[in-house]
Amino acid sequence: MDQSENIYTFLIGTYTDAADQGINLLKFNPGKDILEVTLLAPDVQNPSFVLGNKEGNFVFALEESAGVKGGEVLSFNLNRTSDSLELVDKVPSFGDHPCYLGLSPNEKHLTVGNYTGGSLSIYEITPEGKLLHQQTIQHHGKGTNPDRQEGPHVHSTVFSPDGSRLLVADLGTNKLYNYKVSPEDEEPLSLVNELSLSAGDGPRHLVFSKDGNTLFLVQEMSAMLEIIGFNNDTFTPKQRLSLLDENFEGAVGAAEVKLSPDGENIYVSNRGDANTISVFKKAQDGTFSRIQNTGSGGLMPRNFNLTHDGKYLLAAHQASNDIVVFERNEENGTLALTNWKVKVHKPVYLFQLPH
């Protein structure tokens, strides 16, 4: 492929303060030195999480808000020729301040995690993109931190690669929940078991290894990366790795975790006073160690994402209102900040669309 035609396209989820803000589209063409953002859908309130399907013709988003029936979950048709979104459906999330969406591998179900509500909901997706609510599960309990863990706070809902399980991280109860997914049932989710984490961890986001046998979980409040074996519904803690340099002092807020396309590196962002991205590398024995802590290039790196080919990492900064680009060393996975940078109002999520 001609390098000048190598264009990466991302949906951008944001927090909004005005009607002319909402879901954005980013196009990055390194060969032509282009990094630009356009507004796709204005007048969407706090679309802090947004994702698309494999074909790139459907987009799902949420409105992180509160109300009688909680926030909102939205589906859109995406026209890639005109770069435009058409609203298909808008349904309640049945819990306050939804913050995370999960799309099943077969793209027939969508889940939403409600942070303040401490619940999760699942929807069937029709071929036309309509969302049919099937079930809402309310979590109960609390953790040891009276300020952050006074009640349940669901922070992520992640399908296993085969779609048979849904792993739910609850920052408030300080637990990881394992739900069986039975698509043919009227209520598809049933709790299998749960894992209690170290006091005050605050589990936030997680990713699966490609084979589904390992979980990489970021602990927001303790700024730790937890590596957990997951076989036959059994959790086996393997490694607990800090994001912090030895002499670090200050507030932390670990946020996002991503696996490189080759599975050799894990990347984790940390907000607070740190504003870093940590790079971990896999050894021959399968264990990971931290090989780099680099400044994220801005303030409050709530989210970042890697390009599909693993050549670049884009970091979104909620507080400095920008997105910056790192070049990734494909041999060891380390990051080098480039000069590419674009202004965006409170960007908090990046999802790469197919070419």
Q: Is the pLDDT of residue 198 over 50?
A: yes
- The confidence band for 43, taking pLDDT boundaries of 50, 70 and 90, is confident
> What does the alpha-carbon distance between residue 24 and residue 344 come to, in Å, rounded to a whole number?
9
Query: pLDDT value at position 1?
Result: 47
Query: pLDDT value at position 70?
Result: 94
The helix/strand/coil state of 5 is: helix
Query: pLDDT value at position 2?
Result: 53
**What percentage of the chain carries pLDDT values higher than 70?**
99
The helix/strand/coil state of 298 is: coil
Whether residue 272 contacts residue 252, with contact meaning beta carbons closer than 8 Å, is answered with yes
CATH number of 8-352: 2.130.10.10
Q: How many CA atoms lie within 13 A of 193 on its CB side?
A: 9
